[in-house]
Amino acid sequence: MAAFGSAEPAWAIKAAARTYRLGLEAAAVVSGLGRNLEHPNPNVVAWSAIALGQMGEVAASSIPSLLSLLTHQHRFVRASVAAALGKLNAEQSVASLVSCLRDPEREVRAAAAKALLRIASSDALAALRSTHRTW
């Protein structure tokens, strides 16, 4: 699991994907990537969020940690986290993703909108309809 903490961001996601495909217990992979969400290197954080999103439902336990990163100082972390939440179909993230539609960075706004479309709950779609002119 030490590879998940690698300073090389691409290595973190590749190691997680390979390990998961090789059959390591999903909880161990999610745990390793979850620790990376607190890494000082924002690239590691962003790539770990992406990997968690790609894992799908088995990574649902990471949603609270991901939600806390929607206000991260780096735009690519915020955008990656928004995308991951969409892939995780995290209905509990709708209000936070709606807030991201007002982010100063277009990349973050677009990722939040795509995530809300992917979640597609009535609340998510209503929020998109009501705010579409502001982002």
DSSP 76-111: HHHHHHHHHHHHTT-GGGHHHHHHHTT-SSHHHHHH
Domain ranges of the chain: 2-131
Q: How far is CA 119 from CA 27, 82, 85, 92, in A?
A: 23, 11, 9, 10
- CATH top class, domain 2-131: mainly alpha
Higher pLDDT, 47 or 10: 47
What is the chain's Cα-based Rg?
A: 14
Distances (CA, A) of 110 to 41, 51, 79: 23, 19, 8
Secondary structure of residue 61 in the 3-state scheme: helix
pLDDT attached to residue 87:
96
pLDDT per residue over 73-105, tens digit each? 999 999 999 999 999 999 999 999 999 999 999
